[in-house]
Structure formats: C-alpha cells, structure tokens
Amino acid sequence: MTRTIGRVIRRLVFSLAAVLAAGCSDDPGGAGDDIGDTTVPVTSQDTTTTTTVTTVPSTTITVPTFHVTGRVVDPGGSPVARAFVTMGETRSVTGPDGWFSFQVTEPGSMEVSKPGWGSAEVAWAPETVRYEATITPVTIRGVRVSAESAQSDAAFDDLLELAESTAVNALVFDTKQEGGKVLHDTSVQDAHDIGAVEVFYDAAARVAQAHERGLYTITRIVTFEDAERADAFPDEKLAGPWLDPTSATAREYNLALAEEACELGFDEIQFDYVRYPTGRAAEVSGQRDLTQEQRTSAIAAFLTEARERLHAKGCAVGAAVFGIVVSVPDDQGLGQRPEEVSAQVDTLSPMVYPSHYSNGWLGYDDPNDHPYDVTADAISDATPRLASGTTLRPYLQAFWWTNDQIRASIQAAEDAGIGWLLWNIASNFDVAALPTDAEVEGSAS
C-alpha cells in the first residue's frame, strides 16, 4: 500500500484504543500614513535584526503624547501573537496578527519579549513611530526527569552530565504526576489536606542546579487526571479518577500549583492530561453528550486563565496533547484540537510515539518500525494548524527503540527546524541516542 493511500486510510480507521495501549504519559494596530523611513537597530539574544520606523508629523500639545504602534514577527516574517512590548510603565500585548499599539508621555527604549522566546531592545526615536521587530523562539531539546531521578543526587548528576555532552538543553520535571501526587513540599494547603503530597525532591534546589548549567527547566503538571482530588472532592469529579474540566475549584487547585512552580524558578509550566478522559471513564462521564465546541471551549478556557496568570509571573505555558489529534480533524471526544489549544499556549507538545499508532498507519504494517516517517508526518500535520506565536515541540519516543531509531525520530524534528522532548518513564537515556551540539548545528546549516 502506498504512503499516500495510507494517509487517507489512517484518517478513517484510526483506533484510539491503540494509542492508549502502552499506557505511557499523555500525554493592529493600524499605522499612520507613510511619510518617511529610518532604521533603528534591534538587539536580540538570538539574532541581530533591524527595525523599520515610519515617521509621521509630530503635534505640539500641552502634555506631549506619543503614539507607538508596530508589529512583532518571527524570523520567517510570520506574526508573533501574545508577545509583550514594554516602554517604561506601559505594556502592550500583540494580537493574533502580531500588531501592538499604545500611547506614552515619557518615551524610552522599547523591550519586546515573549516567554520561551528571545527578546529584543529597540532604541527610541523622538517621533510617533511604527516598528517591526523580530524575535526568535528558543529551540528546546529536552529529556524527562522522573521523580526518582530528581530524588537521587547520583541520577540527577547523570542527567546533568548527559546534557553537558549532548545537544540537550532542557529538563522536564514533574511537580504533579499521574494520579495526583504532588512531588515537592508545596505551599498549596489543599494538596496537604487531601494527602496528595509525597515529597521526592526539593524543586527549587533542582531548578537552581539546572540553571547553573544553563539548562531550560519545564515542569509537567498532570491536570484533570487526579484520583487524589477526585476522591477528596466528589463534587469536582467527572468520572473515575478524572476531574471535571469545567469545575472552578478543580481549575484553581491546578493553577495554584502552577503559579507556585513558576515562583520556584521553572521557566515553563506544561499542562498534561489537560483533556477529557478516554476508556471506561469516557463511557460514563457524559462528555459524549457535549458538543465538540463545548469540550474544546472548556479546555481552552482553563489554558487561557493559566496563560494570563503565568505570563504575569514570567513563565512560558505549554500543553501536551495526544499525537493523533494533530492528524485528524476532530477532537476525538477529548476537548483537544491543535487550533484551540495552541491559541492559548506558547508551546504545543503532541506525543508522537509511533508504537502507539494503529497498524496500517501511513500504509505501514507496524508504524513503530518507521520512526522518521511517522514523526515527520505528525510534524507536517501539526505545523499548519498552530496559532501564530506558538511553537511546536513534540514529545518523541525514547522507549522500546534502539538508539538508531531514537536518533531517526529526533532527526525528523531537526529537519523540520523544531525542538523536541524525549519521553522515557524512568529517565533511562543513552548518550549514544542523542545528537551532539555540533551535529544539530551542522544540521541547521
């Protein structure tokens, strides 16, 4: 069967049960008339660009007011949504089209930033201006840190050394894991009251160690799959161990843990299991009586509030989603579609594990035997469905495979020019499975 035929067939015959079989983790501002152009240098931590400034006649008033408008784009010229543009005490946030607009009485240098991206500083010109500034997303290549690896000094040191000798520049911790256990000594009293705290590691100390090595830190918060809280608060329960995504108190609990994680120093908060359930819980939860819009809106509403609160504290926001949802048009009954989820977060991480795909996917008898092609296909499916300003950073399979197979999957992401996260439940990574800095730099050139 050809690959083209297989791509058609897979949309029709995909079995969600196969995805779950292995039991691994989820998971304008308008401008004035153009009068003249000048150039103002912009310095970014990732690249040096120039900003084009269009001047308009100044107006003398009792208290001079300066109208500043412009656009933020990525290196490819695409708009960057949800970027912060700050001048003095005034801050604007770019819209979906990358535009910003504000007025100031005391102009100064302009700073452009976005969590998980580089920043730019723009020199002030003494006229009302329109800017175009370029910022670049940080390319993150990360590995998972299991609770046991975070607990053990020796195991954690091994992961730090792994990052030192490879292209890995990020670590993904858990602060709240499957089942609802909170793995550090949280200050969120609810977690203690329901007996959900099981201290494995000092989160602030581990983050500090990672930062000393120049590593980006992400924490994964398992959100609505939470047996601990579902048992303690039946009114928040949807079905089985699942919380109702529309429950205000269930949301607040997870948001409080997320805000605390940001305050502890994590650079990015990633919400996992941010969805409705599958399996038996889905059969009795009533979620199938909801419309797709109701499900996706519930998930999007939670992520919107998370973004607003965490951006205010300086953290990027990510979401992990089922790999299949980037390749099918509907939400699979889960409330997850890349369009709605990516519009609320900085990073979308579909779990691209070829071992979880149905036999026959892309025309392959066993997709697990085709790491590059299955990974590349998922990336290709996801990319055009992302909202502006959102980066794609898939979870890649680092279990049940040889080192060469893991490398092939990584290479698919590198060839697409995106970052990646490796999932292995026990943090069992072989340095031979990972590219070096020189290899990824060579690939990029």
Residues 6+ apart with CB under 8 A from 59: none
Secondary structure (3-state) at 44: strand
Which has more confidence, 435 or 82?
A: 435
Per-residue confidence band for 64, with pLDDT thresholds at 50, 70 and 90: confident
- Whether the per-residue pLDDT at 51 is higher than 70: the answer is no
Check whether 21 has a pLDDT greater than 60: no
- Predicted local confidence at residue 41, as pLDDT: 33
pLDDT tens, 204-231?
Answer: 999 999 999 999 999 999 999 999 999 9
Cα–Cα distance between 362 and 327 in angstroms, integer? 11
Angle at 283 between CA 281 and CA 284, to 5 degrees: 75
Contacts of 128 (CB under 8 A, 6+ apart): 32, 55, 56, 58, 66, 67, 68
Give the rounded percent of residues in the chain with a pLDDT score beyond 90. 73
Q: How far apart are CA 208 and CA 195, in angstroms?
A: 27
pLDDT score of 15 more than 70: no
Please, are residues 355 and 402 in contact by the beta-carbon 8 Å criterion?
no
Which pLDDT score is estimated for 169?
A: 97
Please identify which residue in the block is written with the tokens 């992961």: 159
- 3 state DSSP class of 289: helix
Domains plus CATH for the chain? 3-27+138-444 (3.20.20.80), 36-134 (2.60.40.1120)
Question: Residues 386, 32: contact at Cβ < 8 Å?
Answer: no
Q: What local confidence, expressed as pLDDT, does residue 217 receive?
A: 98
For residue 105, the model assigns a pLDDT of: 81
pLDDT of residue 19: 39
pLDDT tens across 393-424, in order? Answer: 999 999 999 999 999 999 999 999 999 999 99
Predicted confidence (pLDDT) per residue in 342-354, tens digit:
999 999 999 999 9
The model's confidence at residue 444, banded by pLDDT at 50, 70 and 90, is: low
Q: Is a pLDDT exceeding 60 seen at residue 264? A: yes
- State the average pLDDT for the chain: 87
> Beta strand pairing status for 237-239 and 242-243?
antiparallel
Dump the DSSP string for 95-163: -TTSEEEEEESS---EEEE-TTB--EEE---SS-EEEEEE--B---EEEE--HHHHH-HHHHHHHHHHH
The strand pair at 216-222 and 237-239 is best described as: unpaired
From CA 132, how far away is CA 362, in angstroms rounded? 42
pLDDT score recorded for residue 231: 97
Q: Which amino acid is at 362?
A: L
CB atoms within 10 A of CB 47: 13
Residues 6+ apart with CB under 8 A from 167: 141, 434, 435, 436, 437, 439, 440
Q: Which residue has the higher pLDDT, 261 or 4?
A: 261
Whether pLDDT at 124 is above 90: no
Structure tokens at 194: 């329901």
198 alpha-carbon distance from chain centroid:
26
Model pLDDT, residue 43: 35
Q: What percent of the chain has pLDDT over 70?
A: 84
pLDDT surpasses 90 at 4 = no
C-alpha neighbours within 13 Å on the C-beta side of residue 367: 27
Counting other chains too, the contacts that 326-332 makes at CB distance below 8 Å and 24 or more residues apart are: 326/350, 326/378, 326/381, 326/382, 326/385, 327/10, 327/11, 327/377, 327/378, 327/381, 327/382, 328/11, 328/14, 329/11, 330/292, 331/292, 331/295, 331/296, 332/16
pLDDT at 94 over 70: yes
Q: Facing residues of 348 across strands?
A: 319, 392
Residue 77 to residue 71: CA distance in whole angstroms:
10
CB–CB of 193/286 below 8 Å? no
Confidence of residue 23 (pLDDT cuts 50, 70, 90): very low
Q: Residue 10 has what pLDDT?
A: 46
**pLDDT value at 38 more than 80:** no
